[in-house]
Amino acid sequence: MQFISDSKSLVSIFKRLCSKYNHYMWSVAWAGEPHGFDLAQVLSRNERKIENIVVGLHFYQTSPSFIKRFVDNRNVKFYMQSDGTFHAKVYLFYNTSNDWSAIIGSSNFTSSGFHNNEEANVVIDNSDTGITFKELYSFISNIWKNAEYFTSEQLRTYSDTHCYQQRKHKSLSQFTKQNRIPTILEVMTWE
């Protein structure tokens, strides 16, 4: 087991696992732009290795370009649940049930999740005890059963809403570290 908290190590390990293993089974809350994100390009080059990938859509964070890129791939589905938030980030790579690795943690399949954000992930493999291949495989398989394929009409609707939501997110960027809203504790007096 290996703990990863820096993006350079995470990207390096992710690329190594993409190269080493012949099957990808992932469950991820969001996926980013396929054109500016190096790992999305790695995924595109290795598309034949996708067994099942499920990508969430909550908060309209998944890039419509990612959906469009993989909309015709019958091994990629999207999680459209309306209650709660689909937030899992499990990347399972394997050749056999005795030869596998997984990254589990906070990184979404986005440039921010792998390059810019402060993220924490753990890499495990078949030599680790505690979590088995069967558990990870079953977890993703169960999510796959509840996921759906995208239609062209859904993609148009999602793209329009995504664009609108992104404008709202950008308008909130004024509240960054330089201009953040103080917490109630910061403005309270001793009285």
pTM of the model: 0.88
Cβ proximity of 155 and 70 under 8 Å: no
Tokens of 115: 């390059």
pLDDT at residue 120, rounded to an integer: 98
Say how many C-beta atoms besides its own lie within 10 A of residue 152's C-beta: 9
Which stretches within the chain are classed as H helix? 7-20, 38-45, 64-70, 111, 133-146, 152-171, 184-187
Distance CA 44, CA 93 (A): 15
How would residue 80 be classed by pLDDT, with cut points 50, 70 and 90?
confident
Q: Over range 21-47, report the average pLDDT.
A: 95
Work out the average pLDDT over 89-118. Answer: 97
d(CA 164, CA 146): 27
Helix-helix angle 7-20:38-45, to 10 degrees: 0
pLDDT at 90 over 80: yes
The mean pLDDT value for 96-102 works out to: 97
Q: List the Cα angle 137/138/143 in 5-degree steps.
A: 100
Q: What integer is the mean pLDDT of 114-133?
A: 95
pLDDT class of 154 with cuts at 50, 70, 90: very high
Give the separation between CA 19 and CA 124, rounded to whole angstroms.
17
The sheet that has 99-105: what strands, in order across it? Answer: 2-4, 121-125, 99-105, 89-96, 23-28, 50-56, 76-79
Provide the pLDDT confidence category of residue 116 given band limits of 50, 70 and 90: very high
* Per-chain mean pLDDT for the chain: 91
How far is 36 from 59, CA to CA, in rounded Å? 21
Residue 169: pLDDT above 80?
A: no
